[in-house]
């Protein structure tokens, strides 16, 4: 048996039928699609070089930063190190580590599976926020108005098998929902707390 990231996705295409003088509006499944559509999302470790990364309290800010770390192998975000001993709320500048306590090489190690959950909170005190987070996978800065960025709204999660970008090439930022602009302030904060799970190839 090999380590496996096992997930599933499901989408229901809902159409709202407008109210008229004799009936209230009602939601129904789209008549052409007729059902929910979904499937598995799985990544099987290729060998013992594939490591787990887990950080439950990554504080994403309104400045685009590396989700994991830059070439110095240190975090730019609070809680992003994955340190299972001193975390999960360690300060920015901590060394990026895997769940087995080995150290990541952010300029060489490759991300093959990624899950990010927007907790709908801005901090570990569970202050609620409606800000989204946006992820860039190609080494460019994350931005709410970048057409190829992935948006994760408050309370939502996104996961997928990705093409092995270097850890230092994945960027994340907080902002309002797509098209609404830069991050809204919540309790003097624009941050979003995210949970991150990844399967990463330790190239070294």
CA pair distance 201, 199, nearest whole angstrom: 7
The two most distant CA atoms of the chain are separated, in Å, by 68
Distance, CA of 16 to chain centre: 30
Residue by residue, pLDDT tens for the chain (204 residues) are 789 999 999 999 999 999 998 999 999 999 999 999 999 999 999 999 999 999 999 999 999 999 999 999 999 999 999 999 888 889 999 999 999 999 999 999 999 999 999 999 999 999 999 999 999 999 999 999 999 999 999 999 999 999 999 999 999 999 999 878 899 999 889 999 999 999 999 997
- Would you call 148 exposed, middle or buried from its count of C-beta atoms within 10 A (0-12, 13-18, 19+)? exposed
Q: Which residues, 6+ apart, have CB-to-CB distance to 53 below 8 Å?
A: 68, 82, 98, 99, 104, 196, 197, 198, 199, 200
CA pair distance 6, 203, nearest whole angstrom: 23
């Amino acid at each position: 048996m090999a380590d496996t990231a096992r997930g599933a996705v499901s989408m229901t295409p809902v159409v709202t039928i407008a109210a008229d003088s004799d009936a209230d509006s009602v939601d129904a499944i789209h008549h052409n699609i007729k059902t929910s559509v979904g499937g598995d999302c799985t990544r099987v470790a290729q060998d013992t070089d594939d490591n787990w990364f887990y950080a439950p309290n990554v504080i994403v800010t309104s400045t685009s930063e590396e989700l994991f770390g830059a070439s110095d192998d240190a975090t730019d975000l609070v809680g992003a190190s994955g340190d299972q001993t001193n975390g999960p709320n360690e300060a920015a500048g901590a060394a990026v580590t895997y769940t087995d306590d080995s150290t990541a090489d952010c300029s060489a190690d490759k991300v093959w599976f990624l899950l990010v959950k927007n907790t709908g909170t801005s901090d570990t005190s569970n202050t609620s926020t409606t800000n989204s987070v946006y992820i860039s996978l190609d080494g460019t800065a994350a931005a709410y108005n970048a057409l190829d960025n992935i948006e994760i709204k408050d309370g939502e999660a996104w996961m997928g098998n990705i093409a092995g970008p270097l850890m230092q090439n994945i960027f994340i930022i907080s902002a309002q929902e797509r098209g609404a602009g830069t991050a809204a302030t919540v309790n003097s904060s624009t941050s979003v707390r995210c949970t991150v799970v990844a399967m990463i190839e330790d190239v070294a």
